[in-house]
Amino acid sequence: MKTKTTNTTTMPSDMAYPCPCCFNLTLSSPNHDTFEICPVCWWEDDPVQFNDPTFSGGANTMSLNQARETYLSCGSSAKEFLQHVRKPLPNEI
């Protein structure tokens, strides 16, 4: 069985779910209620912002739509998180 390593855990790669910001397979649950932080874009998964991508506030300062645009332009959900992010692993793409 192939495995995937996140910051602190190893899980089967077929159990990874896409981050709503960068769409890489970095989350452990499809429910968007775990408040996991994506190591690729540093978005904190938030059910309110997932259900309303225009909402600013909550777990993340900017809206999910704004974070997606920022990720495409600079490689992280917010410029101040650039020092924390990493490139996606081959099995996360």
Give me the pLDDT at residue 14, please.
65
pTM for the whole structure:
0.83
pLDDT surpassing 90 at residue 88: yes
Alpha-carbon span 2 to 4, nearest angstrom = 7
Q: Is the pLDDT of residue 20 over 60?
A: yes
Going by pLDDT thresholds of 50, 70 and 90, the confidence category of residue 11 is: very low
Mean pLDDT of 83-91: 98
Whether the predicted pLDDT of 2 surpasses 50: no
Q: Could you tell me the two tokens for 50? A: 């997932």
Using the CB atoms, write b or e for 20-34: b if 16+ within 10 Å: bbbbbbbbeeeebee
